[in-house]
Amino acid sequence: MTKYVYLFKEGNADMRELLGGKGANLAEMTNIGLPVPQGFTVSTEACTRYYADNLKIGDDILEQINVALAETEKICGKKFGDLESPFLVSVRSGARASMPGMMDTILNLGLTDVAVQGLARQTGNERFAYDSYRRFIQMFSDVVMEIKKSFFEGALDEVKHAKGAKFDTDLTADDLKEVVKKFKAIYLREKGEEFPQDPKVQLMESIKAVFRSWDNPRANYYRRMNDIPGSWGTAVNVQSMVFGNMGDDSGTGVAFTRNPSTGEKKLYGEFLMNAQGEDVVAGIRTPQPISALEATQPEVYNEFVNIAQKLENHYRDMQDMEFTIEHGKLFMLQTRNGKRTAAAALKIAVDLVDEGTLSTDEAVLKVEPKQLDTLLHPNFDPAAIKKATAIAKGLPASPGAATGKIYFTADDAARAGIAVVLVREETTPEDIEGMDLSKGILTARGGMTSHAAVVARGMGRAAVVGCGELHISEEKKTLTVGDKVYHEGDDISLDGSTGNVYGEMLPTVETTVSGDFARLMAWADKARTLKVRTNADTPRDTKQAVSFGAEGIGLCRTEHMFFEADRIAAVREMILADTVEQREVALAKILPMQQGDFEEMYKALEGRPMTIRYLDPPLHEFLPQKSMIDEIAALANELHTSSEKIVEKIDALHEFNPMMGHRGCRLAVTFPEIARMQTRAVIQAAIAVKKEMGYEVVPEIMIPLVCDIKELSFVKKIVVETTEKVFEEQGMKLEYHIGTMIEIPRAAITADEIAKEAEFFSFGTNDLTQMTFGFSRDDAGKFLGSYYENKIFESDPFAKLDQDGVGKLVKMAAKLGRETRPNIKLGICGEHGGDPSTIEFCHNVGLNYVSCSPFRVPIARLAAAHAAIKANKKK
Ligand code: PEP
Ligand code: MG
């Protein structure tokens, strides 16, 4: 019989897939003798079964839960449902990867109208008992029964108002009894039945709610963003309760072994006395720094410091821990590798190597490639910051510069379609999509471990939280600071590194990378075998990419060089030419410009290779649209022809499906003189730069959109003949290569044939995805949303390579290509070339390089290192 339920003492840290991160670590902490309130974990496989069984928990699983519950009762010496000494538990989700989109916690489960009295008698603390009960009713109603939280908050506020209480802690036991009464009335009103009084029913409903939360829209969105497969499922942890709200010698907190924002090696965290966990995370009361615990409870503090160090040593990584103090006794509720900013990730990884804890390969694996993105994006211009005056200051929760328009709800922010800064009292898991689509997040409440802070750091969004000077009205859509009022759509900037907020748009500057970054990247470069090139068409982008470590250009899209104002006229003249002679006159004007571009690019590359892709767009893209009457008249004037003639040509060039139309090598087949001109430009530029700079330049000429070897042979012949002619004219030869893109399924299928002519393949996975799926790459965004909602797709195949389909073609073409030409060079230059999961695939298929946009070069270098280290581990 499959085992679905594990007592904490039966698991360990290696069982993450089955027990989820939280469950595996609770088990591990139990094993190493730390004070962990005992309980059990219902496995991720039980969650998958729940879905397979049509949202039912199987009888065998129910039976195993009951057995584990009985065992836990024995361990704790209490009985579930006991009316005198009730046994209370918490129920928490816990997937393999930590997922803020999911249900988090239900506390105090097991309380009923009768049990609460028992708890009051047993603890001699009636206030505590009813405080726990009202919290439980609210959490159960909200997260299990989906009754709006605001109903309960409103009722609590009513009682507080009536009693003149400022804080929840000002309410007496009798006040809280009244709150409980009101809460139960809300439950009855909303559900049409009484609040459940059977603890087993409460427990099973909660477990089901955790399973359901795996599939809520927020969790689905988070998974898509982070490449987490829907098939993993979540585990559920049922743990006996300890209480941080038992009085002034009790409390609860969260702490990191190192600073999650900067990486500094210093215990960092917050706690609240006389409180339960959600008070800290929700940011309702402002917590105290962990160091303050030393003064009030020195023994607990010292024990905690020791445990924190023990956990960090044990896991060899920075830990994020939750703890509770019950009547002066410390309990550990959770530990996990802490989420951190990119800067902190680099510092911690490098420090752990210097401290002798990690090898360099292990340190490389500690930094998520995608995370580097935040480091490579702009900060505020220091000169502008000096002059600007901050309107407010909050906590620097997640670094980076954000400027945008103010929006007050996550939905509005998500729909705005412009650069926005999300301004909220505090954020909740429902806000996750709006947060992701914002440049930055600003909240009035909450600490460094509040939802807004944790989630923004994970996403790499700039965030300032707990900015108490702000008065935010979501209803009126206003932000008031002092006597100044800001409205929706007003400008705002925030600096996530200092916590400063500015009531204006401030200019940003690009960052330079050095220090820890450089050291870690050097280790990554040593570990990887895959080369990293860049897609660039201008010297500026090329220099940027080289400064980020690009080892050459994998794709220079030459059509991008034709769009500049001063050359589009000559291109139009070429397109509108009626005869070859006329076209050659126009091409002769373009040649020196194109050659000049290539020379500059070769110089920017300082001897690194460059793959130059021949003209690829549909020709009509260069002409004005028919509605642009003035532009057409001006063009007619320039070319000594009539507007009608130009309109005729525009009509003639119109295509119903330009993506499958007259583009790529098809242009060179129709107009060989274009390929001739481009070859001259490439070879003459290479010779000129070689002469001037003294280093070898080895042109790589790439023919796009090939579907048949004969097409390639045809264009190749033109290239070779022209090159030979240029060599003769220049009295000099150099090495050069001719290859092709594999971006049409037929090319992949006949790659063995094509390799007879091609010295290299570059997989154009944008078009290969388009044509393999039959999805227009320009339009798929309009319907892919429905595909995610209906679970047809988990991710965008244009961003993350579809390894089962498109990847199969890539693998096959690589194998066929190598069969014909064993030393054929293989690369990828579609957008996927910068995606870490695709890069791992490319490493495993044995490609020679990936090519991606300049800002993704460091990400690709790191991802290539991850792939190599992981593959070596498997060997
Ligand atoms: C591709 O198709 O993947 C490619 C890189 O070419 P383009 O995006 O220019 O069509
Ligand atoms: Mg293409």
Residues 330-359 have pLDDT tens digits of 999 999 999 998 889 999 999 999 999 999
Report the pocket of ligand 1 as residue ranges, CB < 6 Å: 555, 557, 616, 743, 764-767, 829-830
* pLDDT on residue 510: 67
* pLDDT on residue 181: 97
Distance 209 CA to ligand 2 centre (A): 46
The region of weakest confidence among 421-425, 427-431, 671-675 is 427-431
* pLDDT on residue 541: 85
* pLDDT on residue 284: 60
pLDDT band of 511, cuts 50, 70, 90 = low
pLDDT band of 620, cuts 50, 70, 90 = confident
* pLDDT on residue 111: 95
* pLDDT on residue 214: 93
Q: pLDDT for 777-816, tens place per residue?
A: 878 877 888 998 898 998 889 889 999 999 999 999 999 9
Catalytic annotation present for 829: yes
pLDDT band of 509, cuts 50, 70, 90 = confident
Q: What is the distance between the alpha carbons of residues 659 and 552, in angstroms, rounded to a whole number?
A: 28
* pLDDT on residue 283: 55
* pLDDT on residue 420: 96
Catalytic annotation present for 852: no
Distance 651 CA to ligand 2 centre (A): 24
Best of 616, 761, 778, 842 to mutate for ligand 1, by most ligand atoms within 8 A of CB? 616
- Tokens coding 392: 């407010």
Distance 839 CA to ligand 2 centre (A): 19
Catalytic annotation, pick one of 829, 832, 842, 852: 829
Average pLDDT, the chain: 91
* pLDDT on residue 386: 86
* pLDDT on residue 512: 59
pLDDT band of 565, cuts 50, 70, 90 = low
Catalytic annotation, pick one of 451, 620, 832, 866: 451
Q: Which range has highest mean pLDDT (47-51, 458-462, 614-618)? A: 47-51
Positive or negative, the Cα torsion across 536, 540, 544, 546?
Answer: positive
Q: Whose CA is nearest to atom 6 of ligand 1?
A: 764
- Ligand at minimal distance from the CA of 535 is 1
End-to-end CA distance of the chain: 33
- Please, are residues 492 and 481 in contact by the beta-carbon 8 Å criterion? no
| Chain centre to alpha carbon of residue 192 | 41
- Ligand at minimal distance from the CA of 706 is 2
Q: Whose CA is nearest to atom 1 of ligand 1?
A: 764
- Ligand at minimal distance from the CA of 555 is 1
CB-based contacts of 187-190 (< 8 A; 24+ apart in sequence):
187/137, 187/141, 187/145, 187/147, 190/141, 190/145, 190/147, 190/151
CB-based contacts of 359-364 (< 8 A; 24+ apart in sequence):
360/523, 360/526, 360/527, 361/523, 361/527, 361/869, 362/316, 363/520, 363/523, 364/520, 364/523, 364/524, 364/527, 364/862, 364/865, 364/866, 364/869
689 or 656: which leads in pLDDT: 689
pLDDT band of 377, cuts 50, 70, 90 = low
Q: Whose CA is nearest to atom 10 of ligand 1?
A: 767
Which ligand 1 atom sits nearest the alpha carbon of residue 766?
A: 3
Q: pLDDT for 679-728, tens place per residue?
A: 999 999 999 999 999 999 999 999 999 999 999 999 999 999 999 999 99
Q: Whose CA is nearest to atom 3 of ligand 1?
A: 764
448 or 57: which leads in pLDDT: 57
621 or 390: which leads in pLDDT: 390
Which ligand 1 atom sits nearest the alpha carbon of residue 743?
A: 2
* pLDDT on residue 258: 97
* pLDDT on residue 458: 62
Which ligand 1 atom sits nearest the alpha carbon of residue 762?
A: 5
Mean pLDDT of 12-17: 95
- Tokens coding 351: 């420090």
* pLDDT on residue 448: 66
The region of weakest confidence among 148-152, 449-453, 650-654 is 449-453
* pLDDT on residue 414: 86
- Please, are residues 581 and 590 in contact by the beta-carbon 8 Å criterion? no
* pLDDT on residue 780: 84
**Strand 268-273 relative to strand 251-256, pairing:** antiparallel
* pLDDT on residue 371: 85
Q: Assess whether pLDDT exceeds 80 at residue 759.
A: yes
pLDDT band of 363, cuts 50, 70, 90 = very high
| pTM exceeds cut of 0.75 | yes
Distance 543 CA to ligand 2 centre (A): 24
Q: What is the distance between the alpha carbons of residues 475 and 481, in angstroms, rounded to a whole number?
A: 17
Distance 687 CA to ligand 2 centre (A): 28
Distance 376 CA to ligand 2 centre (A): 27
In terms of Cα–Cα distance, which of 21, 28, 16, 17 is closest to 8?
28
The region of weakest confidence among 317-331, 535-549, 694-708 is 535-549
pLDDT band of 549, cuts 50, 70, 90 = very high
- Tokens coding 827: 């690369």
The region of weakest confidence among 182-196, 308-322, 742-756, 787-801 is 787-801
pLDDT band of 626, cuts 50, 70, 90 = confident
* pLDDT on residue 185: 97
47 or 450: which leads in pLDDT: 47
Which ligand 1 atom sits nearest the alpha carbon of residue 535?
A: 5
- Ligand at minimal distance from the CA of 831 is 1
Q: Which residue has the tokens 């400063």?
A: 500
Mean pLDDT of 540-555: 92
Mean pLDDT of 67-86: 89
Which ligand 1 atom sits nearest the alpha carbon of residue 767?
A: 2
* pLDDT on residue 34: 97
Distance 726 CA to ligand 2 centre (A): 29
- Please, are residues 308 and 320 in contact by the beta-carbon 8 Å criterion? no
Mean pLDDT of 247-269: 92
